């Protein structure tokens, strides 16, 4: 068995700050700190010993990690947190603090040992990486907009839809034909995400998008992701019966995918579809068509979802 002096020397030479608090004394004062603790905090042992370690906290910072530490101490358990501490100079540093209880021979809590590691450089790196991730996401989003495609579903994006709809309205105004629009909303999609996770939600949107593209194959058919769980479809010159038949086929196609959804209609993932048409040569414009389609999908959802509504 190693001599006790070896253990003492290991603690004194440790690169991690080590502090011991007496849990039997009032206010749990520190009774030992090693040299690494002194270097990390800037407080010599003579100024640290006898004080509660909360002096390393800033009184204006109400960090939730402090609650975790208090709860662990009340339960006499070990705990690890990342917490903001302050050196004697006033400089803030990130401290990865691990506390562990020490019990005496009667199994009474006697001490808490705190092992401290300055992870300020690591946290700064994590913050830089997160900022870079957000920057790249913004760049990708901008590229996606310019490309006119939604990266998740590979459908056209909303900007491309708006441009296509504007062109269709102009064409229809000159030729006297109708412009047709379908709004497709995945029913109870937030609950689906909450239940099955965002990866499953993304996959469900891809499956719905693929199904829509399979059904919308006419030369003028244009399918897009409108935003979130909403997709849209525009076309030209469809008759009332064609619109209603396609709306019914869309709902049936998604039902036939048999995607389980415990909070969905009949236990499966379904969609609500709102359809509308305008004749720009007579009346109505792009904004009016979008409004009519949006109101139609609202009517379908209000009627129980898993259905379509056509606003003629």
The string of pLDDT tens digits covering residues 199-216 is 999 999 999 999 999 999
| Superfamily for domain range 4-120 | PAS domain (3.30.450.20)
Look at residues 274, 222, 283 and name the one whose alpha carbon lies nearest to residue 243.
Answer: 274
Residue 284: its pLDDT value, please?
Answer: 78
- The residues of the chain scoring below 70 in pLDDT are 1-2, 144-145
Residue 136: its pLDDT value, please?
Answer: 84
Whether the model clears a pTM of 0.85, i.e. scores above it, the answer is no
In order, the DSSP letters of 72-105 are HHHTT--EEEEEEEE-TTS-EEEEEEEEEEEE-T
132 is catalytic: no
Residue 141: its pLDDT value, please?
Answer: 75
Residue 138: its pLDDT value, please?
Answer: 85
Residue 6: its pLDDT value, please?
Answer: 87
What is 149-311's CATH number?
3.30.70.270
Task: Exactly one of 131, 137, 229, 312 is catalytic; name it.
Answer: 229
Residue 281: its pLDDT value, please?
Answer: 80
Per-residue tokens: 208 = 């719905």
Q: Please answer whether residues 235 and 183 qualify as being in contact, where contact means their C-beta atoms are separated by less than 8 angstroms.
A: no
In the chain, where are the structural domains located? Answer: 4-120, 149-311
Residue 221: its pLDDT value, please?
Answer: 93
Half-sphere exposure of 168 (CA within 13 A, CB side): 30
What is the C-alpha to C-alpha distance for residues 95 and 269, in angstroms, rounded to an integer?
46
SS3 for 213? helix
């Amino acid at each position: 068995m190693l001599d006790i002096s070896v253990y003492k020397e290991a603690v004194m030479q440790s690169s991690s700050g080590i502090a011991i608090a007496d849990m039997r004394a009032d206010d749990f004062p520190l009774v030992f700190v090693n040299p690494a603790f002194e270097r990390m905090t800037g407080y010599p042992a003579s100024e640290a010993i006898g004080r509660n370690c909360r002096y390393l906290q800033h009184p204006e910072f109400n960090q939730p990690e402090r609650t975790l530490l208090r709860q662990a101490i009340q339960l006499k358990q070990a705990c690890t947190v990342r917490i903001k501490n302050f050196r004697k100079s006033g400089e803030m540093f990130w401290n990865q603090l691990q506390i562990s209880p020490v019990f005496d021979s009667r199994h009474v809590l006697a001490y808490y040992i705190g092992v401290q590691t300055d992870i300020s450089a690591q946290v700064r790196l994590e913050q830089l990486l997160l900022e870079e991730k957000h920057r790249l996401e913004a760049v990708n989003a901008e590229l996606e907009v310019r490309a006119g495609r939604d990266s998740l579903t590979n459908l056209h994006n909303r900007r491309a839809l708006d441009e296509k709809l504007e062109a269709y309205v102009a064409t229809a105004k000159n030729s006297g034909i109708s412009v047709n629009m379908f709004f497709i909303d995945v029913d109870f999609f937030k609950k689906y995400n909450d239940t099955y996770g965002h990866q499953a939600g993304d996959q469900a949107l891809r499956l719905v998008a693929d199904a829509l593209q399979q059904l919308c194959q006419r030369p003028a058919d244009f399918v897009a992701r409108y935003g979130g769980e909403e997709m849209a479809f525009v076309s030209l010159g469809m008759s009332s019966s064609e619109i209603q038949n396609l709306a019914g086929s869309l709902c049936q196609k998604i039902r036939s995918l048999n995607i389980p959804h415990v909070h969905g209609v009949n236990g499966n993932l379904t969609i609500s579809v709102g359809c509308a048409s305008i004749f720009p040569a007579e009346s109505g414009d792009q904004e009016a068509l979008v409004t009519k389609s949006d109101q139609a999908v609202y009517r379908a959802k209000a009627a129980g979802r898993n259905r379509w509504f056509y606003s003629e």
